[in-house]
Amino acid sequence: MLIDFRQIPEMRGPGMNHGSGEMSAQVFDAPEGKFVIVRIHPYGSIGLHEQKGNDINYVISGTGKAYVDGVEEILSPGCCHICPKGSQHKIVNTGIDDLVLFTAVV
């Protein structure tokens, strides 16, 4: 299966799960899982929520923090933040540029 994000329109809206600021996303949803390019815009966040599947977030660019079950993790390019099913987590953009993630929910 090939996923070509160049062919997937970007949606823009408020921070997901009652997060702050704005974010953009390109979503590919399939029976095998959900694959997303996420852009959390400066000073934005994804609010605290319970993970329904295993959430894997690879940091492409930008800086931020993830909180998983109360534990803080620093996000920077090349890092991978994993939130297991049933955990509580949120992600915050701490920089002045977009925090760009490739997310797989399996």
- Which residue do the tokens 């297991």 mark? 84
Q: Which class in CATH covers the domain with range 8-105?
A: mainly beta
User: What are the pLDDT digits (tens) for 15-26?
Assistant: 989 999 999 999
Average pLDDT of the segment spanning 41-70:
94
Spans of all domains in the chain: 8-105
**Structural contact between residues 26 and 10, judged by C-beta atoms closer than 8 angstroms:** yes
pTM: 0.93
Supply φ then ψ for residue 37, to 5 degrees: -95, 120
Helix (H/G/I), strand (E/B), else coil: 17: helix
In 3D space, the residue among 2, 21, 27, 7 whose CA is nearest the CA of residue 102 turns out to be: 27
User: What are the pLDDT digits (tens) for 70-94?
Assistant: 999 999 999 999 999 999 999 999 9
